Amino acid sequence: ATGVVADHHPLIGASVDERYFLYTSSVEPLVIEIMEHSELPVHYRTVTSRFNDHVKVGSRKGAGFILDVLSRIDRCERVDRGIYNLT
């Protein structure tokens, strides 16, 4: 029952493998995981697409959201226009 509530809560995201995260504070590990499984450096639109493939339909986000998350991750650095790398 908890998963059903979390699936529809506006502040909670849900991955297709039933992991839940808060958009405001705990989505960073999922984005890092996506980047670690990508060929780096990677364009933010690729990260956005892979993020949306990895989460349930109601949890999908746009490129602006992913750019905000990338800017919050200490290990993430912008290396060119729209291109990000992990350190």
Kindly give the confidence (pLDDT) of every residue in the chain, 87 residues in length, as a single tens digit, with 9 standing for 90 and above: 566 667 778 899 999 998 999 999 899 999 999 999 999 999 999 999 999 999 999 999 999 999 999 999 999 999 999 999 999
Supply the pLDDT for residue 2: 63
Supply the pLDDT for residue 74: 97
- Which H or E run contains 5? helix 2-7
* β-bridge mates for residue 43, sequence order: 83
Supply the pLDDT for residue 5: 66
Give the CA distances from residue 38 to residues 42, 43, 45, 84, in Å, rounded to whole numbers and listed in that order.
Answer: 7, 10, 12, 11
16: nearest Cα among 25, 29, 7: 7
Supply the pLDDT for residue 56: 94
34: nearest Cα among 79, 73, 8: 73
